[in-house]
Amino acid sequence: MTTIKRWRKAQKYEQSYWKKTAEKIVTGSAGQLGWYKWKFTEMEKRLLPHIDKERYDSYNILEIGCGPIGIINYINRGNRYGLDPLEKFYRSNETLTKLRDPRVQYLEGAGERIPFEEDFYDLVISDNVLDHVYDTHVVMNEVFRVLKPGGFLYLIVNLRTRFGTNIHKILSKLMIDKGHPHSYDVLTIRKLIGRFQLSLLSEWISDSREARSRDIRSPSVKEKIKGYTGLSEFPYFAVFRKLK
């Protein structure tokens, strides 16, 4: 858990990021958030081997911390909900909202207090969220609460090595990285999820050495610094099922 003051600063940073991104979309200097579609394709590749495909069309699906668009925008089946504490801001920005599928219900709210009854969702998506929230344990409690027995959690978290995680914790406290109050390595994310009755169906961890090498080769000074200091991030993907 972080402090509420620290979390609010992270939210302000996030809002600033998306405001600048929307401005770049308008000027043509940024694409129209196509990475969400790529993330959806990756999710389907990892999720479909485990689910009942005949029931997929009737799933209740939630993405927490979905941002302005989210993976949820591209699923195109079931009853879809996106939840984000900055939804009021996103909704006010036409550049962002015009990219949305109007059939998705976007709601304002935080993962620490999901506004649905228990055992409601067949699938919950958490993509690059747990390092942004106020209280990771409360968020995971809420995710577990709203998942149906037998329901699925699709989780993506950007990890660092143990050394990089310890360095990042210092940078986060110093507000050098304003947007990420939390940091995880492989052991800490497994420990967090291990507190819940969730069965791991599949797990994939990208290569930390490759991530570091890529950052060092990058033309961006910021990325080079990440590579040389051990702060490079590498994604963790996992599919879990709530035990019945």
Rounded CA gap, 202 and 204, in Å? 7
Instruction: State both tokens at 62.
Output: 């939630």
Q: Could you give the 3-state DSSP secondary structure of residue 49?
A: coil
**Model pLDDT, residue 30:** 63
- CATH architecture assignment, domain 4-161+175-207+235-242: 3-Layer(aba) Sandwich (3.40)
- pTM over 0.95? The answer is no
Please measure the distance between the N-terminal and C-terminal CA atoms of the chain and give it in whole angstroms.
29
Show the low-confidence residues of the chain (pLDDT under 70).
Answer: 1, 29-32, 174-177
- CA 18, CA 24: separation in Å to the nearest integer? 10
Q: What is the pLDDT of residue 176?
A: 64
- Say what the alpha-carbon torsion angle 215, 216, 218, 224 is, to the nearest 10 degrees: 80
Q: What was the pLDDT predicted at 31?
A: 67
- pLDDT computed for residue 168 by the predictor: 77
pLDDT given for residue 131 in this prediction: 87
- Per-residue pLDDT at 166: 84
